[in-house]
Structure 1
């Protein structure tokens, strides 16, 4: 998996129409609200898990749409499936790194 393919997959997700854009906007809003409220470490960890699962679910949905041909996308190429898969790996590793940082931060 290359980071470039993962970033391409995230880019495809964000261009996927309203769902991808809304997910990005709501994720930023949730993070901003978390900063304003002042979450503790456990709450941050739960928020990171929840957001990570949402992003991964949206990527799985994108792969399913491409595979089933139901995507209303102009970029339904076989490479897109690999990019979505790489994006899933990239996001899951990013979520894991964030959780490790939250858990072990002094």
Structure 2
């Protein structure tokens, strides 16, 4: 959903307006001034992905995954499935009937 919103110009404007309104509201609740609207240009090719705090907004209102292709989503799916497999294996290994692997 978010990937489609950032690619459509009308939805992107609405998304940026919602985020700006949320920042303004959060600043008012804290009793601070609302931050000034400033456009920041970020080169997505040189971006350090490990330094990004919010994957849905890298600083320009664009999500980190905005330019993902089919292969990127497939790799993400495989990584998550491997993550689930390892955690389920760890949980299954706690079975008292199977304390460890059998050596032959």
TM-score between both structures, scaled by the size of structure 1: 0.31
Quick check: which one's helix share is greater?
Answer: 1
Larger Rg computed on CA atoms: 2
Higher relative contact order (CA 8 A, sep 6+): 1
Structure-2-length-normalised TM-score: 0.31
